[in-house]
Structure formats: structure tokens, C-alpha cells
Amino acid sequence: MTNTCITEGSKISLHFSLSIIDGDEVDSTFGGKPATFVFGDGSLLPGVEAKLLGLTAGAKETFTLAPEDGFGQRNPANIQRFPRSQFGADMVLEEGLVISFADAARAELPGVVSEIGEDHVMVDFNHPLAGRNLAFRVEILSVSAQAETKS
């Protein structure tokens, strides 16, 4: 029996860890429940999925992800200046504090306080991993062809 290769629509079960190059581990399923998903369903970043194509069960790989394959480059336009008065007087503000904002569609948008001035607060809406080179370690546990669903 041949091992099924990962292709578009494959059902995959795997363990992974995501780390900042020369830094901390950000997320991992090793030692816990594996991730199971269908290739192409949006569970993984497209740059990560592209690196999994052609792998089979039993494969153990470590990939380096450039920002373009991960969470993108940092965008200076995503750093916003707010008047200090927009935050409650009793709110304790400190650099690194994550605050939840609502965007125009009322979706939750987290921002990180990056600077506090006397009359302004700078909030960074970039993804915390934007602009970072990442290491993605993966162990493929199983790969199967996704069954076609008939309607």
C-alpha cells in the first residue's frame, strides 16, 4: 500500500510547533491532541500549506517561514494614535497591554499599546508575529483522500 501524498482536499492529522527563529515557541500540539483538517480549508496559512504538499504520513520536517509566508510584514499604517482622553481615566495603560477594539463591522480587533504619551496613546494593530521569521516543525500522522460528498 502506498502512502497517500498531501494534495488539495486531503484530510490531514499532524502535530506542529511554531517558533520564532532563535526565540520562543509560540504554539504547539506536540504532547497534546493533534490538529486535523482538510488541506485548503483555511486552517493553515497558505505559505505553510504550500510546504506540506507532497508529504506523506510519517514525515517529520522543519521549515523556515519568511514573513511573506507567515503573518506578513509589519505595516506602519497599522499603528494608530489615539487621544489619551479616549481611554477611561481609571484605565491603567502600560506598553504591551492588549486592548480589544471594534472595527467598522463591529468585529473584535485586538491592538497592543506601543507608546504612552501625556496626551496620546499609540496602538499597534499588526499581528504580533508580523515581520518575524518563523520555524514551523511538523510531524504528519495521517493523510487520506477527502471523500467526495454527493448531494
Q: How many domains does the chain have?
A: 2
31 & 102 share domain: no
CATH of the domain at 86: 2.40.10.330
pLDDT for 119 beyond 80 = yes
CATH of the domain at 45: 3.10.50.40
In this prediction, residues 81-108 reach a mean pLDDT of 89
- Residue 84's domain comprises 76-124
Question: Which residue would you say has higher pLDDT here, 145 or 17?
Answer: 17
CA nearest neighbour of 14 among 69, 64, 58: 58
Read off the pLDDT of residues 61-86 as tens digits, 9 standing for 90 and up.
999 999 999 999 999 999 999 999 99
92 & 57 share domain: no
Flag whether 6 is in a domain. no
63 & 80 share domain: no
Read off the pLDDT of residues 34-71 as tens digits, 9 standing for 90 and up.
999 999 998 988 889 999 999 999 999 999 999 999 99
